[in-house]
Amino acid sequence: MTAKAKDSEGTFPREAFAIGATDETANGVEEQKDVDECLLHAGKLCQQTCSNTWGSFHCGCHQGFILQGDGRLCAPVSPDEENRVKAFRPAAIPTITPATTTVDISTRTTTSRPVRINPCSENGGCSQQCLAVADRALCSCFPGFRLKIAGRKCEGKSCFSLVVNRWLMELV
C-alpha cells in the first residue's frame, strides 16, 4: 500500500495508518498538501471573493454587499437596513510589522524586513465573519444579524408584532 500526497501549497505531516500493510509507509508519516480550491475553480465557487483555507475555502463579499445564507452569493446591503459592512482602518489592525532583522558587523548596518500579517487572524476582531481586503479587516454578519455601529460585533435583528384587521403580522 503506498500513500499519495495531495496537491497544494502548504505541507503538514499526518499520521498514516494501514492495517495489514507490509511496506515502509505503514504507520509512517506522509506529507499532505492542501489544494487551493479558489485557484483551481477560478471564479466558479464564490460570487465575489474566495479565500483558501486548509482543506476548504471561504466566500466573501465586497464592501456594500453581504454574504447570503448559501455562503457563496452576495446581495447588496440596503441603505435603509442596518446590516452594514464596515472596514477597519489600518491603524486599528496592524498589517505590516518589522520581523526579521539582519546585522552586518563589518559595516555596522541593521536591516529589517517587513512581514505581512493577516488582518483577519483571530477573526480580525469581528464577532462573526471577517474578510481581508487590501490589508484591512471587513466585518460582516450572518443572515438574521446586523452589524452594530462600531462595526465589529453582530446582534440579532429585532422583530415586533402588529395586529391588523385581526391578522398577526411579524416584522423582522
pLDDT at position 121 is: 80
Looking at the 3D structure of the chain, how many domains does it have?
1
Output phi, psi for 43, to 5 deg: 80, 0
Q: Residue 129: what pLDDT?
A: 87
Q: Which three cell numbers mark 31?
A: 506529507
Question: Would 44 be classed as within a structural domain?
Answer: no
Domain that holds residue 112: 79-172
For residue 153, is pLDDT > 80?
yes
Task: Assess if residue 140 is contained within a domain.
Answer: yes
In a domain, 138, yes or no: yes
Tell me whether residue 155 is in a domain.
yes
> DSSP of 109-163, one letter per residue?
EEEEEEEE--TTGGGGG-SSEEEEETTEEEEE--TTEEE-TTSS-EEEPP-EEEE
- Identify the pLDDT of residue 30: 61
Task: Report residue 7: phi and psi, to 5°.
Answer: -75, 145
Task: Give pLDDT tens digits for 73-103.
Answer: 888 876 544 444 444 443 344 444 444 555 5
pLDDT band of 71, cuts 50, 70, 90: confident
In this prediction, residue 132 has a pLDDT band, given cuts at 50, 70 and 90, of: confident
Statement: the pTM of the whole predicted model exceeds 0.75: no
Instruction: Look at residue 3 and tell me if it is in a domain.
Output: no
Going by C-alpha positions, the residue among 135, 136, 139 that lies closest to residue 149 is: 139
CATH at 144: 2.10.25.10
Does residue 68 lie within any of the structural domains?
Answer: no
> Is residue 148 a contact partner of residue 154, using CB atoms and an 8 Å limit?
yes
Q: Is residue 45 part of a domain?
A: no
For residue 5, the model assigns a pLDDT of 43
pLDDT in tens, 14-70: 444 445 445 555 555 566 787 888 888 887 888 888 888 888 888 988 888 888 888
Mean pLDDT across the stretch 102-125? 69
